[in-house]
Amino acid sequence: MKQIRPTESELEILGILWEKGPSTVREVHDILSQTKDAGYTTTLKLMQIMHEKELLQRDTSSKTHVYTAAISQQTTQQQLLNKMIDTVFGGSASQLVMQALGQHKSSEEELDKIRQYLSDMEKQQKKNR
Amino acid sequence: MKQIRPTESELEILGILWEKGPSTVREVHDILSQTKDAGYTTTLKLMQIMHEKELLQRDTSSKTHVYTAAISQQTTQQQLLNKMIDTVFGGSASQLVMQALGQHKSSEEELDKIRQYLSDMEKQQKKNR
DNA sequence: TGGCATTTACGAAAACTATCGTACATTTGA
DNA sequence: TCAAATGTACGATAGTTTTCGTAAATGCCA
């Protein structure tokens, strides 16, 4: 599998694009600058570099270019998770899961989704026996 | 809260120290070099810098210094998780949990632990109602 | 049309990270 | 005792990431 390694800043931009879909530099920058202190050209440059690295696609048909994430959120999530489980959680996925549930106060609705998910996994497993 | 931002390499070293407890540079380096290709002085330098940054403590009473992680595994896990949930999982902890359970083939034992954990949370919640 | 605002392009500096060579100190055991 | 082995200190360099200034292109509208 091709290992992608977006930097911290690049992940922030990807996160915005995953959430909002195709966007201009201006749109991304406006969101980014709510939590971060950097000039417009900085965001622009980052996104241009990300395009070179093929982390982003862009549509240049109009003057104001429109960027889209070129790597999937799922794949990226999986790779980051795996690395994190290995280095920070001593290889234990359940450790990570419990830590995540523990603090980041999940709503009752979210917890239900997870229970549902677990029981589905269980069924699946019995079937394959 | 003080935001700590260990780099990738620093996390690898912290991971080793969390697992093995107080260790010398040599011990850390021997483990590190199983999966990574870098010279001894590189590891040394990294750990010295980490000491300056107060990521590690060290005991210099004997010639061979002994290093200890100065930040807790739990705190570090929590901070990295929170950031990851925000930037990569659109703020949804349950999304992260399901993704983690999905692929990183958890053992049946691990899944049981998590079910147990969830049902404990449930009880706790009823009690507080 | 002409000028202002917005955008892209580009280069370069600044900051940070990782790597290693070399010098010096300490320990050990032949 | 002294040479080899092992360890720390330190500086330099290469590589990467982040930042921004400036110039050129484009579109808009008074």
**Total count of domains within chain B:** 2
Let me know whether A98 and A65 are in one domain.
Answer: no
Tell whether A81 is covered by a domain: no
Q: List the domain range (segments joined by +) for residue A121.
A: 92-129
Percent of chain B at pLDDT exceeding 70: 93
Whether residue A87 is contained in a domain is answered as no
In a domain, A76, yes or no: no
How far is residue B113's CA from residue B97's CA, in Å, rounded to a whole number? 14
Q: How far is the CA of B54 from the C1' of D30 (A)?
A: 61
**A103 in the same domain as A61:** no
Q: Are residues A23 and A62 in the same domain?
A: yes
Chain A residues near any Cβ of chain B (below 8 Å) = 11-12, 14-15, 18-19, 73-74, 76-78, 80-82, 84-90, 92-94, 96-101, 103-104, 106, 108, 110-111, 113-115, 117-118, 121-122, 125
Chains A and B form CB pairs within 8 A to the count of 120
Task: Quote the tokens at residue B35.
Answer: 């999966």
Residue A60, domain member (yes or no): yes
User: B24 and B60 in one domain?
Assistant: yes
Q: Would A1 be classed as within a structural domain?
A: no
Q: Which of A81, A94, A103 sits opposite B114 (nearest CB)?
A: A94
A59 and A109 assigned to the same domain? no
Q: Which residues contact A126 (CB under 8 A, 6 or more apart)?
A: none
3-class secondary structure, B113: helix
How high does pLDDT run on average in chain B? 89
Nearest to A78 among B11, B99, B115 (CB): B99
pLDDT tens across B22-80, in order?
999 999 999 999 999 999 999 999 999 999 999 999 999 998 999 999 999 999 999 99
Q: Which of B9, B32, B8 is nearest to B20 (CA)?
A: B32
Same domain as B113, residue B63: no
Q: Same domain, yes or no, for B42 and B74? A: yes
pLDDT tens-digit series, residues A20-55: 999 999 999 999 999 999 999 999 999 999 999 999
Q: Is there a domain that residue A13 lies in?
A: yes
Task: Give the dihedral of Cα atoms A42, A45, A47, A49; nearest 10 deg.
Answer: -140
A56-113 per-position pLDDT tens digit: 999 999 989 999 999 999 999 999 999 999 999 998 888 899 898 876 566 677 778 8
The verdict on B78 and B47 lying in the same domain is yes
Per the CB < 8 A criterion, the answer to whether B71 and A87 are in contact is no
Q: How far is CA A25 from the centre of its chain?
A: 18
